[in-house]
Amino acid sequence: MSVRKVAAFTSTKTSGLSFSATEVDLGPMERGEIDVSYLIPAGSPVGKKIELLMWVRGCRLHFLRWKIVVGVIGANTCYEVDVKDCPDLIHHWYDHFYCPRPCLEDRGTRG
């Protein structure tokens, strides 16, 4: 039960992509939001497809494949994606019950 840093980022370098924040600090049982938006370039042909790989790093590493298709009528869209992030506490037959199962940041993999 401690404060964790949750980060959102992409490995795809794309102009027009913006984040309301790149990281949020969340305490035990808290929720947070990071808004991500993409501005479709003017003159993009109808039917053009853009795919962005979005990453969320908290206790574990999650990904979202965001597919965007240019339509005839311009409209804002808003989707919510819930990421339930927690340590992996499920034990398998090959696990040792006395071994700690820390989150990614506790293993020294922060980037």
> Which tokens belong to 106?
């506790």
Q: Provide the domain count of the chain.
A: 1
Burial, 62: exposed, middle or buried (Cβ in 10 Å; 0-12, 13-18, 19+)? middle
Global pTM reads: 0.69
- In angstroms, the CA 73 to CA 84 distance is 34
pLDDT tens track, the chain, 111 positions = 678 899 999 988 888 999 999 999 998 888 899 999 998 888 899 999 999 999 999 888 889 888 888 888 766 676 777 777 766 666 665 566 566 666 765 555 444
Reported as half-sphere exposure (CB side, CA atoms, 13 A), residue 105 has a value of 13
Structural domain that includes position 47: 4-107
